[in-house]
Amino acid sequence: MAGISDFAGRTAVVTGGASGIGFALAQRFLQEGMRVAIADVEQSALDRATAELSAHGEVMGLRTDVREVEEVQALADAVLAKFGRIDVVCNNAGVETGGSFLSIPGEAWRWVMDVNFFGVLNGCRVFLPILEANGGGHIVNTASVAAFNSGTATMTPYCASKFAVLGMSESLEIELRTAGSNVGVSLLAPGPVKTRMVDAERNRPADVPAATEPGRVAVMERLAATTAEIGLEPSAVADKVLDAIRANEFFVLTHPEMAQVGVQRRLDWMATGVPPAARQAGS
């Protein structure tokens, strides 16, 4: 499929749409004359975002926990009932917690993998048949430069979850292209963006403790400072996503050098046998 050129009158679904990159994507889709459904687990933020976006077009907000495939299915059913079609799906909701390896409880691993990987997988499994039946469409899965970079102190669960999104999305895109599908897939892999991601633990389930190790707190403080200094505005990321959907491009890289350095480190490691040094978050 050649990508979507005419967005007006089409429908987009954005998970994690109440904040940050998801909210900016919703704004951008509305500017193109699309109808937009935002889904989020944080009810108060979802209500505020839905009210704000509604001033700019047709919007629906649905509380959805992307970890639960039944809730993602209910989201799809509700959007189809209201808007009649779905053309673009952004599996964007994401969270982060971590620490030194043995300090991270199983529940924290489960939460990060459930939202960041299984949430994206649930979106692909539920929406792909709808897009195909619709005559085509586009799926945007949000990963991170962490999908290319291992060894970032205290962020191992996040890294593993984003590697999983990369592997799944690449394989899906290759399978769909080989089969001549009318659905395109993009992988959004941002570097630092000015959002509430460093405060992702606000949504942690009751059984996930706050990550309070001093080393971990220091990493998050540095990441927040780096993001404030060099982070992109979410609207700039949304512009790139629109371009990628138009052109049907797979990789959407806001900081390509940060992705490439991670790939190169692995190639060098494989060639020399010498493991690379630990990374700083946001570098």
Among 22, 123, 137, 262, binds ligand NAD (CB under 6 A): 22
Active site residue 37: no
- Least distance from ligand NAD to the Cβ atom of residue 179, Å: 27
- Listed in sequence order, the residues at least 6 apart from 124 whose beta carbon sits closer than 8 Å to its beta carbon are 91, 139, 141, 168, 172
Is there binding between residue 76 and ligand NAD (CB under 6 A)? no
Among 88, 123, 195, 219, binds ligand NAD (CB under 6 A): 195
**Cβ closest to ligand NAD, residue 21 vs residue 134:** 21
Helix (H) or strand (E) holding 91: strand 88-91
b/e burial code for range 89-121 (CB count within 10 A of at least 16 → b): bbbbbbbbbbbeeeebeeebbbbbbbbbbbbbb
CA 177, 133, 90, 92 torsion-angle sign? negative
Under 8 Å between Cβ of 181 and 132: yes
**Cβ closest to ligand NAD, residue 200 vs residue 220:** 200
For 85, which DSSP code? -
- Listed in sequence order, the residues at least 6 apart from 147 whose beta carbon sits closer than 8 Å to its beta carbon are 159, 162, 163, 165, 166, 187, 189, 259
Is there binding between residue 21 and ligand NAD (CB under 6 A)? yes
The active-site residue out of 23, 111, 117, 158 is 158
**Cβ closest to ligand NAD, residue 175 vs residue 199:** 199
- Least distance from ligand NAD to the Cβ atom of residue 95, Å: 5
Is there binding between residue 193 and ligand NAD (CB under 6 A)? yes
Among 13, 14, 65, 262, binds ligand NAD (CB under 6 A): 65
Residues 35 and 29: their CA atoms lie apart, in Å, by 8
Is there binding between residue 32 and ligand NAD (CB under 6 A)? no
Is there binding between residue 220 and ligand NAD (CB under 6 A)? no
Is there binding between residue 169 and ligand NAD (CB under 6 A)? no
- Listed in sequence order, the residues at least 6 apart from 138 whose beta carbon sits closer than 8 Å to its beta carbon are 3, 4, 87, 88, 89, 131, 183, 184, 185, 186, 245, 248
- Least distance from ligand NAD to the Cβ atom of residue 205, Å: 9
What residue ranges bind ligand NAD (CB under 6 A)? 15-16, 18-22, 40-42, 45, 64-67, 92-95, 115, 119, 142, 144, 190, 192-193, 195-197, 200, 203, 227
Q: Which residues are catalytic?
A: 158
